[in-house]
Amino acid sequence: MKVLAALFVGTMVVFQAGLLSAEQTESAHRMEEVVVSATRSEIPVADAPQSVTVLSEQEIMASPFERVEDILRFSAGIYNTSHYGMQTGGRISHLTMRGTGRNRLLMLLDGVPLNDNFNNTIAWVAWGLIPKESIGRIEIVRGPTSAAYGSEGLGGVINIITKNPSRERDFSIKGTAGSGNTYGASVFHSKSVSDAGFLISGSYEESDGFYMVDPEGIEDYTTKRYRDTLKVFGKATYTVDDRTDVSFSGLYYDQEMGKGRAYFYDDMQLDQYRLGINRRGDLADWSGMLYLNRGDKTAYMDRRQAGEYVPDHKEKLGPNTVWGAEIQNTSWLIDATTLTTGLAYKQVRMDYEEGYLESDREVKAKGRQESISPFLDITARFMEDRLIANAGLRYDYIRNYDGAESDTNPDGFTYDRKYSSKKWNNLSPKAGVVFHADELTTFRTSVGSGFKPPSLFELYKVHVRGGGTSLTWSNADLDPEKIVTWDIGAERMFFDSLWSRITFYRSWAKDYISSRSTGSFVEDGVTYRAFERDNLEEVDIYGIETEMHYAIGYGLSSFFNYTYNISKITKDGVNADIEGNFVPGEPQQKFRAGLTYMNPRYLNASLMFQHDRDRYLDSENTDKAPSINTIDLSLWRTFYDRVTLRLNIENLTDEEKYLNEGVLYYGSAQFTF
């Protein structure tokens, strides 16, 4: 903690010293960045109706982290529920936004929805699937996004936008090594010739992994969470004429990951494809895309027997597919009004089965889900662009069908259930107003709704974990989750160098999907816990986000953000005892700060600090997580414009509550040709 205090105080001193000498600072007027994720058409960030952050390629590459989930953990309003030791490589959705909880944040890759819909219990999304060098920018839109994108985005949306092939050849290779016997290599190539271009990047990494808990304190988890990962991303573009572009991209990911015990590990493959076309016109722009996401996962499970864990069965989830298509038109009705209309279709398939080593027992589950969704978004400008009004509306028709689950357990409860098709209709509106009081000051307010239907996994799949001692029943009668959020905020530039923003948000959610305890029983000296998925009736959320970015000058820049969030269960007809309790997993206070020094001639450095506190681990609020304080440091230097050496130190404060392994060290060498 002494190291933490010294580094943080040092950061504040540098910040204050820079503030006092503001007349010597460089100009830090925010670039006229644009965002497409807020309204589905290009709009300046300052004109967006919701709170938006765009991370540039420079900011992404300056981050000490390789995975998107870690890069985003320092953005306002976002909380990463994992620590570095999880090392998921992109398999589980750890991010939450504005206190809405896990798996309620929509992720897009070049506009393609990646939340899988068949297995949102663990939410396979591509946080770590995209090689960092392939990312052009990351757009963060806070608040419900169902009016634009339909399901999933109760807390907001994150859109990873990949680079296009460059005119000049860009080729690099990189090698990495670090803690946990971690070794990796990556390659990147980008080049356009005439009207065609091609980009490819890939990486391989292997690691002995990290202990999740103290192996001397808990006997259950005595193996490190090792991992072996391979990821490849490719993108081809072709310019048909001055107004028409076509692109095709593909992603492949392969991972094997240990989970803390010798017979408890996963093997997974994902592949994803996107075909897109853009046509620019005098009065309207057209775009369309067709996409396919596939996932195939095998989980090897153990069970507890006579105080030990022994091999038991394997779970095969897949191959599961999500495919869809979208078409969109953006037109200019008059000089100051933009109208975007479109239609989206998506179909999801889940297939699951279990194979047991010591019996003929068969466990199966399956289901299908499809949706068709027309949408529109309109933006109007008044008072010479000082006042911008935005409104959007989307209708989603969703059908679940072919739902079934069965178990032939010869020693226990058997079932063979087939479920009737189920349909939902949802209308998602939004509205927002932006007012530029002057060139340096902006006010904005918005209101919007979001929804998320239950996944096929939650509807039809009985889930067994904890070495076979924890069982969660499916529930085919689950209802979609819904939320309404209102926010209001202001931002201003001071001294040509200090940008700040404050936002207050208030959300009303209902029918949150959770797991209720249905009791426990003891058999052969082992305690078994049983749960059932169900809807919580009402959850209230409110909070404040504050942000500040300051260009100190002389190569120094800094950022600070603080989020205060309260998420409470306000009504529950099944268990009134949890009414008034905090929603588990969401810290009430999150503070982030960073200091960056850029001096290519000598050394570049980045220092990142995070603090989380007041987080409960259960709905009963009997188990409170410890507060977390971590500091991460990155040092790098480029020699002769060709060789970049980097040293990353994560968890510099040796926060064992955050990661039992302690401080992590990583080094890399990148060669550019």
Question: Which single residue is written with the structure tokens 């004109």?
Answer: 47
For the segment 471-498, what is each residue's pLDDT rounded down to a tens digit?
788 899 999 999 999 999 999 999 889 9
How far does CA 293 lie from the centroid of its chain? 17
Q: Are 409 and 395 in contact (CB under 8 A)?
A: no
What does pTM read for this prediction?
0.89
* Model pLDDT, residue 584: 84
Residues ≥6 apart with Cβ < 8 Å to 385: 47, 336, 436
* Model pLDDT, residue 592: 95
- The residue segments making up the domain with residue 386 are 2-672
* Model pLDDT, residue 214: 58
* Model pLDDT, residue 402: 95
* Model pLDDT, residue 50: 94
Of 52, 141, 93, give the one whose Cα is nearest residue 450: 141
Q: What is the CATH number of the domain that holds 503?
A: 2.40.170.20
Query: Which H or E element spans position 149?
Result: helix 146-149
* Model pLDDT, residue 17: 34
Question: Which stretches of the chain score pLDDT less than 70?
Answer: 1-32, 82-93, 116-128, 212-221, 465-469, 521-526, 528, 656-660
Q: How many CA atoms lie within 13 A of 542 on its CB side?
A: 5
CA angle 49, 50, 56 (to 5 degrees): 110
CA distances from 67 to 128, 226, 487, 558, 650 (A): 5, 17, 30, 22, 13
* Model pLDDT, residue 590: 94
Domains contained in the chain, number: 1
* Model pLDDT, residue 20: 33
Helix, strand, coil percentages, rounded to 5, for the chain: 10, 60, 30
CA 660 – CA 663 distance, rounded (Å) = 9
